[in-house]
Amino acid sequence: RAAIAQVIEPLGAVWVADPPTARRRAIGVPMATLTVLNVERISAEAAAGELATVARAAFGYDWATGGARQAVTVSAPDAVQSYGRLEVELDMGAVRTARDALEIAQARLAMIARPGWTLRATLDAYLAIAPGDTVAVDHPRVPAGSALVLSTARDRGRGTLDLVAWMPAGSAPRIEMTQRAQAVDAARPDDNVTFRDGVATFTISDPAGNPLAGAAVTLDGQETRETDALGRVQFRAERGAHSLSVYMAGYSPFDLEVVV
């Protein structure tokens, strides 16, 4: 279980034992409502320990180097202003594409970029609730709202179900991408960089894989050129390691480390 948790928790998922599966941690449609009619005991305590306003997701594990080849950083600007810059690292080595990494990072930060409550409740056992489910809370002893079930334990002898849930406070924050970094190795088949007759061609794209046309790209902090309609830019370069700095209207600047 610990090994499974190490893999799925950075992806914003929880483990369900029956049937064995990983489920995305996200507030959804409530499966049940916790009220005075079906709750034996319930309590809530502030859960600010996981609060973060900036998340950096490293993805695309590289077996040759033993690390992630790419990373994307997202932030919640309003939360940064309210709580400061609280950073969290998300290890998504199993994620292969920038699109998936960005989607998961945005969803994860939307959950943790605001304070919340940890709910503990003992319910009637007939309620079919599992980790990953959403429950509505309408009980006079705790704040009202929707909560994400984190764990459950059924006591068949007592006919009860103990659960732990997390309930966010306030509305979901605005999330935006602030940086994307990428390590590209031309020795491997890769569409991002080609090298021929002393000319290196780089293809610059956004996290969704769409080419960035008109982006200003600086090679090794010296020469700057713009990408064409297909996101391509060319420089005369020597074989070896180089750095690219990319500037594009509507995006935060990001850097690429490349080997040609």
User: Would you list the domain boundaries of the chain?
Assistant: 1-180, 186-259
d(CA 213, CA 193): 16
Enumerate the H helices of 52-190 as residue ranges.
77-83, 98-112
Helix or strand run (H / E) with residue 3 = helix 2-8
What pLDDT shows up at residue 34? Answer: 95
- SS3 category, 88: strand
Averages of pLDDT over each 10 residues, the chain, 260 residues = 59 60 69 93 84 86 66 88 89 78 86 91 88 92 92 89 90 78 38 82 78 88 91 89 80 72
Contact 224, 217 (CB under 8 A): yes
pLDDT of residue 58: 82
Helical ranges in 75-223 per DSSP H: 77-83, 98-112
Q: For 186-259, which CATH class?
A: mainly beta
Sequence-distant (≥ 6) Cβ neighbours of residue 79 within 8 angstroms: 53, 113, 114, 173
pTM (two decimals): 0.58
Sign of the four-CA dihedral 156, 158, 159, 162:
negative
User: Residues near 141 by Cβ (< 8 Å), separated by ≥ 6?
Assistant: 42, 43, 44
12-21: list long-range contacts, CB under 8 Å, 24+ apart.
12/104, 12/107, 12/108, 12/111, 13/132, 14/131, 14/132, 14/150, 14/151, 15/131, 16/130, 16/131, 16/132, 18/130
Question: What confidence score (pLDDT) does residue 107 get?
Answer: 85
**Which of 129, 233, 249, 16 is CA-nearest to residue 258?**
233
95 three-class SS: coil
